[in-house]
Structure 1
């Protein structure tokens, strides 16, 4: 992939890059995987009779079981490490209530960002041209990809920049670094 560049045209600002077929395939596959997890999570939300009557959507009130989804859809409130939470405490169910109210919209935003990436990446590689709004969606989507992949690989502050060739995570860490570079390059191109 080439570094993102910013071009001013009669139609407004455009951000441009180019991907080869393999890069486009990898990116499309990663996006499709994350979108699939999010769609499955949304489809698993309980059906609420009150929501059907009012039109107010509700989501799951329990956190996801999959670590990558836990990272993409974290709890809204984390009690202090020193705080003691009792099962009968009103704040104990705060995350469930907040998740039920807000998770559908969060998932929708993540699905929309991923859809922009899928629409703008040529299937067999080639030029990628984005409006600033599409670039914002790319940044949001790339961040979700990095979070999901990083969680799956167990990347943390202690993870070395490179892994031994015999480490099964090594090729995936290269993809993680590529996504990081792509996101950083796009941020730099967006700056005035």
Structure 2
């Protein structure tokens, strides 16, 4: 993939890059997988008669059990253990039920922008600033999900031993990080 560049045109600011077919396939697969996880989560929400009457959507009230989804849809409030408000599960559950459908919808919409703008066989990519924002959201979500699977933390080395089964995936994680950073730099004036 080429570094993102910033071009001003009569139609406004455009961000451009180019990727080969393998890169496009990997990106499309990863974004599609994250969107699939999120869509399944949304579909598993309860049917609420009051929501049907009022038009207010409600979602799951309990946190996801899948570690990737939990990373993408964290609790709204985390109290320090032993603090007076440590037992805020009820508040978190209520907030999750009210806001999770919108959060998932926003994340899936961002992923859909990436899937629409990445040429299936690779090639030139041209984005508006709004599309670039969606890309940044989707890339971040993919990095969070992949980082969870790879158990990436502050102590993870830049390179893993060649025999480590996570090594090729860590390279993909670094590529996504570079792509996100390059796009963010191109967006900055």
Instruction: State the TM-score, normalizing by the size of structure 1.
Output: 0.96
Unaligned residue ranges in structure 2 (runs of 5+) = none
Aligned-pair CA distance for 1:80: 1.8
2:166 is the counterpart of 1:169: yes
179-188 or 91-100: bigger deviation: 91-100
Aligned-pair CA distance for 1:83: 1.5
CA distance in 2, matches of 1:6, 1:48: 47
Unaligned residue ranges in structure 1 (runs of 5+) = none
Q: Which segments of structure 1 move beyond 2 Å, counting only runs of 4 or more?
A: none
CA distance in 2, matches of 1:5, 1:131: 12
CA distance in 2, matches of 1:85, 1:107: 27
Instruction: State the TM-score, normalizing by the size of structure 2.
Output: 0.98
Aligned-pair CA distance for 1:92: 3.2
2:16 corresponds to which residue? 16
2:175 is the counterpart of 1:183: no
**Other structure's SS at 1:17 match:** strand
CA distance in 1, matches of 2:84, 2:30: 39
Aligned-pair CA distance for 1:136: 0.4
> 1:52-63 counterparts in 2 under 5 A?
52-63=52-63
Aligned residue pair count:
189
1:119 corresponds to which residue? 116
> 1:128-139 counterparts in 2 under 5 A?
128-139=125-136
CA distance in 2, matches of 1:98, 1:42: 15
